[in-house]
Structure 1
Amino acid sequence: MKAHRTPWWYYLVAMICGLFGGMLLVKYDELSGLALLGVPWFISALLLLIGVSVLVMALQVHKYATTDPRKRAELKPLDPQKAVSTLVLAKSLGLVGAALTGWYGGQILLSVSHMEAAYYSQAVLECAIACAACLIDMIIGIVGEWLCQLPPMDGPESDKMKASQPRRNVAPAAVKTRH
């Protein structure tokens, strides 16, 4: 499998899309009178818990990937499927963290002007905590993606490996002598 780093602008696009979505939700909330703003407290805690678990898994992958292959026998074997799943989780955590940061940021942006009402002040406080948790998740996702990258491997066909290996089964150059 060949995986590439997530470009920086993906995070920016996700954050902008989330920002507009959050702003639209506030406008819909104002027009309809439905109480849709804010986020329950346990969601912010759950988002942070997910981020920490992805970071722990990414650190395990990083430790295994950067350990000298001769010393890897001392470590617990790492399932390749777990390593790939950790990379996918880190990538998705970064993008979802960016989108949700924008989502809650958009709600904050349009709700700040109504903070004199208890409903909006509570929603802004909840969204600010969730926005911080999602920003932390985005950073964990980016760092986790970096931690899951494999160091460059020099295979037997690389020039570096060919130069370092002694040549076998090669006859020494013959010296011509004159008779």
Structure 2
Amino acid sequence: MSARRTAWWYYVIAALLGLLLGAMLFKTDEITRLSLIGAPWFVSFVLVLLGVVVLVLALQVHQYAITDPTKRKSWVDPTKAVYTLMLSKALGVAGAMLAGWYLAQLLLCLPHWGARYYQSVVIQCGIATVICIADMIVGIIGEWLCQLPPSEGPDDPKIKTAKRRERRRKAIAGSVNKRRC
């Protein structure tokens, strides 16, 4: 199985989509007078916890991947490694989108700073934005940590290059031997 790195523009699109949706939520909040904006402290706590868990899992997979096979003291389930990779990818993109979501609410609430309600929303969204950006960075780093080092199997580029050189050398040697005959 071959997994590709998440392209940088996925994060940009997710953040822009989050900005758009956050702005729409703010406008809906203003029109309907419902209290929809802000970030409960529980959400920020869960986002921090999720980032820490993903980082710890990614570090475990990375440690296993870089350790010499003869010196490994523990074993990492391949399914766990794949789940950690997917979790890192999802955390990165979700972190970007949620950062945009909370940043839009924060920016649109700043002009209303005088009202106590908006002051608490700005503080909550500011903290949530920082946490989401940190989660996005943890997701990107976790995805990098889950990369496997190149193996020296038949698909290794060094071995393929060596085989090509050997074939070329044999072909040249074969043509030289034919000329001598």
Question: TM-score scaled by structure 1?
Answer: 0.86
Tell me, yes or no, if structure 1 residue 117 matches structure 2 residue 89: no
Q: Which amino acid aligns with 2:135?
A: D
Q: Alpha carbons of 1:106 and 1:150: their partners in 2 closer, same or farther (altered >3 Å)?
A: same
* Alpha-carbon distance, 1:115 to partner: 1.0
Distance 1:53 1:153 in 2: 28
Structure 2 residue 128 is matched with structure 1 residue 130 = yes
Shift in Å at residue 131 of structure 1? Answer: 0.6
Q: What is the number of residues matched between the two proteins?
A: 162
Name the CA distance, whole Å, in 2 between partners of 1:90 and 1:43: 18
Which residue does 2:31 correspond to in 1?
31
Counterpart amino acid of residue 89 in structure 1: L
- Deviations along 1:87-121, one digit per CA (max 9) or x if unpaired, are 00000000000000000001011111111111111
The residue aligned with 2:49 is 49
Q: Which amino acid aligns with 1:122?
A: S
Gaps in structure 1 of 5+ consecutive residues: 164-179
Distance in structure 2 (CA, Å) of the matches to 1:30 and 1:143: 38
1:150-169 deviation line (CA, Å, top 9, x unaligned): 01112147574586xxxxxx
- Kindly provide the amino acid, as one letter, of the partner of residue 25 in structure 1: L
Structure 2: tracts of 5 or more residues without a match: 163-181
2:5 maps to 5
Q: Hey, what's the Cα distance between the residues in 1 that align with 2:9 and 2:155?
A: 36
Identity of aligned residues (%): 56
* Higher percent of residues as helix: 2
CA RMSD of aligned residues (A): 1.6
What is the SS of the residue equivalent to 1:70? helix
CA distance in 1, matches of 2:157, 2:36: 61
Aligned residue among 139, 142, 166 for 2:140:
142
